[in-house]
C-alpha cells in the first residue's frame, strides 16, 4: 500500500497534468512568440508544474523565480504577501508570466501583481495549474489555467501539506476526516 492511499484520493493524474502542460505551452507560445517573456515561478509550489510547462513554451524565454509566502503551515492563505526571494531579472518593458501552483482567494497574486507593476513591465499575466474559483476574493484575470477545481484541500505535484507531499506524482484530495490521522502520522517526521 502506498503512503498516499491512506490520506488522499486521486483528483488529477500525472498524465492529465502533462497533457495540459503541452496544451498550455502551445497557447503561451502563440501569445509571446514575437516578444518573448520572463517566466516567473512562484516557489515552492510551482516547481513541478513550471518545469513541465516551460518545456512546451517555444519562444524567447527567461527563467526567474520568486519565493512569496502567504500560507505558512496553514491550509488557507492569509493574503498578506511577504517576499522571501525577489526577482533577479529586470522586468521593465518585458512581458511577465507569473506561474503558480494554485490560485484560490487571489489575494496573494493580486498583491504581487500590484507590487510588480511598479517595475514597469510591458504586461503581467497569470498561469496556474489549479484554479479554485469558488474561493476567489480578489479579482485575478487568469489567462492560462490547467484545471478548475472545487473547494477542497489538495496536495501533490508541488502542492504541500505542512511542506510534505509535494513529490506526490499526481494531485490528490485530502479524504474527509483524515486530517487528524495525517497530522499524527507526520509528527514523527517534523
Per-residue pLDDT tens over the stretch 109-130:
888 999 999 999 999 999 999 9
Which residue in the list 101, 104, 160, 176 is annotated as catalytic?
Answer: 104
Q: Is residue 177 part of a domain?
A: no
For residue 176, tell me if it sits in a domain: no
- Is residue 67 a part of any domain in this protein? yes
How many domains does the chain fold into?
1
**Mean pLDDT score of the chain, rounded to an integer?**
91
Average pLDDT rounded to a whole number, residues 77-86: 75
User: Among positive and negative, which fits the CA dihedral 117, 120, 123, 124?
Assistant: negative
CATH of the domain at 137: 3.40.50.2020
Q: Is residue 189 part of a domain?
A: no
Q: Would you say residue 174 lies in a domain?
A: no
Query: Is 182 a member of any domain?
Result: no
Q: Distance of CA 47 to CAs 30, 128, 136, 158, 176, Å?
A: 23, 12, 23, 6, 27
104 part of the active site: yes
**pLDDT over 70 at 139, yes or no:** yes
Query: Rounded to whole angstroms, how far apart are CA atoms 183 and 7?
Result: 10
Its pTM surpasses 0.75: yes
Cell numbers 520568486: residue = 66
pLDDT of residue 73: 52
What does the longest C-alpha to C-alpha distance in the chain come to? 52
Other CB atoms within 10 A of residue 90 CB: 11
The pLDDT-based confidence of 105 (bands split at 50, 70, 90) is confident
The domain of 66 spans 12-169
Note whether residue 188 is domain-resident.
no
Domain assignment of residue 162, yes or no: yes
pLDDT tens for residues 11-22? Answer: 999 999 999 999
Amino acid at each position: 500500500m502506498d503512503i498516499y492511499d491512506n490520506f488522499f484520493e486521486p483528483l488529477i493524474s500525472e498524465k492529465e497534468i502533462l497533457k495540459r502542460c503541452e496544451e498550455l505551452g502551445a497557447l503561451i507560445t502563440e501569445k509571446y512568440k514575437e516578444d518573448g517573456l520572463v517566466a516567473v515561478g512562484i516557489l515552492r509550489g510551482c516547481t513541478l508544474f513550471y518545469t513541465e510547462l516551460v518545456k512546451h513554451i517555444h519562444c524567447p524565454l527567461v527563467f526567474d523565480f520568486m519565493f512569496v509566502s502567504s500560507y505558512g503551515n496553514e491550509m488557507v492563505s492569509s493574503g498578506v504577501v511577504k517576499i522571501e526571494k525577489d526577482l533577479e531579472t529586470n522586468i521593465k518593458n518585458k512581458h511577465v508570466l507569473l506561474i503558480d501552483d494554485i490560485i484560490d482567494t487571489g489575494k496573494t497574486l493580486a498583491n504581487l501583481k500590484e507590487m510588480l507593476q511598479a517595475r514597469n513591465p510591458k504586461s503581467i499575466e497569470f498561469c496556474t495549474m489549479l484554479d479554485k474559483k469558488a474561493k476567489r476574493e480578489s479579482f485575478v484575470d487568469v489567462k492560462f489555467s490547467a484545471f478548475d477545481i472545487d473547494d477542497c484541500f489538495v496536495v501533490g505535484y508541488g502542492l504541500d501539506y505542512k511542506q510534505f507531499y509535494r513529490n506526490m506524482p499526481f494531485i490528490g484530495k485530502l479524504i474527509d476526516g483524515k486530517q487528524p490521522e495525517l497530522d499524527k502520522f507526520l509528527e514523527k517526521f517534523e
